[in-house]
Chains A and B, each alone.
Chain A
Amino acid sequence: METVRADVAIIGAGGAGLRAAIALAEADPKLRVALISKVYPMRSHTCAAEGGAAGVIKSDDSLEHHFNDTVGGGDWLCDQDAVEYLVQEAPKELIQLEHWGCPWSREPNGSVAVRPFGGMKKQRTWFAADKSGFHILHTLFQTSLRFPSIERYDEYYATDLIVDDGRCQGFTAIEMRSGQMKRFQAGAVIIAGGGAGRMFPFTTNGAIKTGDGMALAYRAGVPLKDMEFVQYHPTGLPNTGTLLTEACRGEGGILVNKNGRRFLQDYGMGPETPLGKPVFKTMELGPRDRVSQAFWHEQKKGNMLPTKWGDCMLLDMRHLGEKTINERLPLVRDVTTSYLGVDPVTDPVPVRPVVHYMMGGIHTDIRAATPLAGLFAAGECACVSINGANRLGSNSLTELLVFGRRAGLSAAEYVRSARPGNDAALEAKATAAQARIRSLFEKTGGKESTAGLRKEMMATMEQNAGIYRDANGLSEACTKLGELRHRYAEVELNDKTNVYNTDLLQALELGSMLDCAEAVTVSALARTESRGAHQRLDFVERNDTKFLRHSLAFHHPAQPPRVDYCDVVITTSQPGVRDYSGDHK
């Protein structure tokens, strides 16, 4: 098998992967960095992030405020040492991006502009219109072109990590255009493969978000942490699930039910704030978990508006006026007009909650290191954990910068003392991985199709692992996913060509999603409490005595995952009550 040798190999070239690559190149230009991605870097899902990135920059704000907002927003499941590191590094990273050319929106005096975001006590969300992720991704991609030590492998799909001598030393990957498998041998590997929202049918996530990076680490024995925490974004387009950024509400948009009532005041987020004058951490600027949960209750009360796309609430931005909408939310106007035929300047936009983000992911420590030597992870695929039980909007772009860089620096340090690998042993493991792919590729007489199993998985997740959960539904989902895991072995491909085989790719992606989905449901069933985005109808209270802990799901090839727990790191903030009610802050 053809071997590509690098000092550090990175899987995923979205925001986190590119930031890691640049950190490596800056740390030591002699390190050979291989950056592989299943898509061209600028196609990565970072490009779809809209609202912005949080970092303390204005004089009325403080690191302590950002820390407290994040830890409280995460319902105290965040590791506080990691949050301290995040808030301290955030402004440096955002300024660094500015120096690299990121076209941040500006104040009249030429300084960067910031906007309010849900669950944040001050204005600290840096933005570039409502295409912040797009501009961050392009700025990182462009900057990466300056460094000759970064070698890109675009449209390569990683299939298996290669672990030998107790450490990760590379992986196998399929070059899509030729269908050839290659062995990447590296002193260290960084996974930056993004989230797994596509295991649900209704999601803001693009088609590529299939949890491949998470599944790679998981199958290699690294636990997935806090997978039961799946974030619903309250304002998705009801037909496609396309995201309408929280900045709609940050700029002053309001949410009303079918009776025209701003219903969030009935769910502990009141009192009602004046129209067009959003108040921090109140009403429409409540955290995503609470706002999405309010939708669920309103539906039970029959207060949602029936539309041809299902029951919706209305996001009303008319009072913002055409000028503000065009300047600050151009993409929102574009998207609602093209996909729904609704212009936010003249009409309220129907919305409903949509799967958006995985708080959980590959278990890493504050150095972005996993328990497997030589393996690091950052971005949405990782759980470090700064998001705890509920991520605050605009912390994820910051996270991928801060911990993308950290992963790069940690890997650079690690490879300095890494011993050379045993070529023969590594080659043998790569050959075994190749045999696994070949048997899927060549299988005949299989009874199952990728599309069929995928539909069943999505239906199960939607039905049983949504905003509110209970033991019955989750048990049913666990059983169903176990069954799908068995049936997956019976998948037969129709397309047996080597060149750019998307049928094979989709089958492999389904395998990743099934692994992630099982980790979600098994961890959710085991967590018999309600915290942040994980709400149990049968265990409605938060239980700090038993569950102020991270769950860790360990992979088993033929059985459901085993769930274990580890402690949450608490430095200064003891668990308290999350208060989003007006002036009680």
Chain B
Amino acid sequence: MRLSIYRYDPDRDAAPRMQDYQVALEPSDRMLLDALVRLKEQDDSVSFRRSCREGVCGSDAMNINGKNGLACITKLAELPDHVTLRPLPGLPVIRDLIVDMTQFFRQYESIKPYLINDTAPPERERLQSPEEREHLNGLYECILCACCSTACPSFWWNPDKFVGPAGLLQAYRFIADTRDQATSERLDSLEDPYRLFRCHSIMNCVDACPKGLNPTHAIGKIKEMMVRRSV
């Protein structure tokens, strides 16, 4: 297959460039990451992140023919013979396909992504019915790969002020958890012109999520709660 890859090494390159490769695939190669691992044996200098290679760790998010996705679960059979790979858009590039995730994680951390419950915990587990637990479905599977936030024009414009779809999905994950008691504090922290309300329901995030999650829906839920508590 033919791979065109965004190359940039700040040590050597004045500007980024695209480099073309021919990669000979083996019959066992099934996913785009397999092709990248083969390419790396041809050219050691091509740089990308990868870890679990099964779509759980979120390392190998990149822009694949214009769409964000994970290389390890993108099927070669469903790609054309010529594939263009670029780093996730909107984040500073460290090198080649490796982006600086600092801004992304800062937004994630800003929503206090941990359970807040100030009552003394019981000796055993806190009870939660299977139905209550199900409220987390579609929220708690997020792997923090950043495919969604880096597909979002609002995040491109205001990565320092807009929490972005990934962070907001997590905000709602804790609001939806019956064990969490900080709903009003969480809503307060999102009550400003940017953090939540820069979401204009463009829904690129839904299209980009490799895990099939729907951040726009979760954001809608938060907005609904905001409205309900203000009337």
> A interface vs B, CB < 8 Å?
39-40, 42-45, 47-48, 95, 98-101, 103-112, 131, 134-135, 142-143, 145-146, 177, 206-208, 239-240, 242, 309, 331, 334-335, 338-339, 450-451, 493-495, 497-503, 506
Contact B143 A497 (CB under 8 A): no
Assembly CA distance A190 to B25 (angstroms): 41
Assembly CA distance A497 to B194 (angstroms): 39
Contact A48 B56 (CB under 8 A): yes
Contact A239 B115 (CB under 8 A): no
Contact B44 A134 (CB under 8 A): no
Assembly CA distance A130 to B106 (angstroms): 29
Interface centre among A110, A111, A503 (most CB of B within 10 A): A110
Contact A145 B109 (CB under 8 A): yes
B160: Cβ under 8 A from any A Cβ: no
B162 to chain A, nearest CB (A): 20
Q: Name the CB-closest residue of B to A107.
A: B130
Residues of chain B within 8 A (CB-CB) of A331 are 56
Interface centre among B54, B127, B130 (most CB of A within 10 A): B54
Contact A495 B45 (CB under 8 A): yes
Given contacts A101-B115, A500-B98, A502-B47, whether A110 and B54 have CB atoms under 8 Å apart is no
> From residue 117 to 136 of chain B, which have CB atoms closer than 8 A to chain A?
117, 121, 123-130, 132-133, 136
Assembly CA distance A355 to B128 (angstroms): 37
Instruction: Specify which of B10, B44, B51, B143 is in contact with A39 (CB 8 Å cutoff).
Output: B51
Contact A103 B9 (CB under 8 A): no
Contact A500 B94 (CB under 8 A): yes
Assembly CA distance A250 to B11 (angstroms): 53
Q: Can you name 17 extra interface pairs (CB under 8 A) apart from A335-B54, A498-B11?
A: A39-B57, A44-B51, A45-B51, A47-B57, A48-B54, A48-B57, A106-B133, A108-B130, A110-B127, A142-B114, A207-B50, A338-B55, A495-B45, A499-B11, A500-B94, A500-B98, A506-B44
B66: Cβ under 8 A from any A Cβ: no
Main secondary structure of the interface of B (DSSP, over half): loop
Residues of chain A within 8 A (CB-CB) of B203 are none
Residues of chain B within 8 A (CB-CB) of A242 are 53-54
Residues of chain B within 8 A (CB-CB) of A109 are 127, 129
Assembly CA distance A229 to B144 (angstroms): 34
B207: Cβ under 8 A from any A Cβ: no
Instruction: Specify which of B31, B45, B133 is in contact with A105 (CB 8 Å cutoff).
Output: B133
Given contacts A43-B52, A206-B52, whether A99 and B126 have CB atoms under 8 Å apart is yes
Residues of chain A within 8 A (CB-CB) of B125 are 95, 98-99, 104, 111-112
A-B contact count (CB 8 A): 151
Contact B30 A451 (CB under 8 A): no
B216: Cβ under 8 A from any A Cβ: no
> B interface vs A, CB < 8 Å?
9-12, 28, 30-31, 40-41, 43-45, 47-59, 73, 75, 94-96, 98, 100-101, 105, 109, 112-115, 117, 121, 123-130, 132-133, 136, 140-141, 143-144, 174, 177, 179-180
Residues of chain B within 8 A (CB-CB) of A501 are 47
Given contacts A100-B115, A101-B180, A145-B114, whether A110 and B44 have CB atoms under 8 Å apart is no
B58 to chain A, nearest CB (A): 7
Contact A503 B45 (CB under 8 A): yes
Assembly CA distance A502 to B50 (angstroms): 11
Residues of chain A within 8 A (CB-CB) of B177 are 101, 103
Q: Name the CB-closest residue of B to A493.
A: B44
Given contacts A106-B133, A108-B129, whether A43 and B54 have CB atoms under 8 Å apart is no
A-B contact pairs, 21 of them (CB 8 A): A39-B59, A43-B49, A43-B57, A43-B58, A101-B115, A101-B177, A101-B180, A103-B133, A103-B136, A104-B125, A106-B133, A111-B125, A177-B100, A207-B50, A208-B51, A240-B54, A334-B55, A338-B73, A339-B30, A493-B44, A499-B95
Contact B73 A131 (CB under 8 A): no
Residues of chain B within 8 A (CB-CB) of A450 are 44
Residues of chain A within 8 A (CB-CB) of B126 are 98-99
Assembly CA distance A563 to B67 (angstroms): 53
Assembly CA distance A146 to B112 (angstroms): 8
Residues of chain A within 8 A (CB-CB) of B100 are 177
Instruction: Specify which of B43, B47, B129 is in contact with A106 (CB 8 Å cutoff).
Output: B129
Instruction: Specify which of B9, B73, B174, B179 is in contact with A499 (CB 8 Å cutoff).
Output: B9
Assembly CA distance A48 to B75 (angstroms): 20
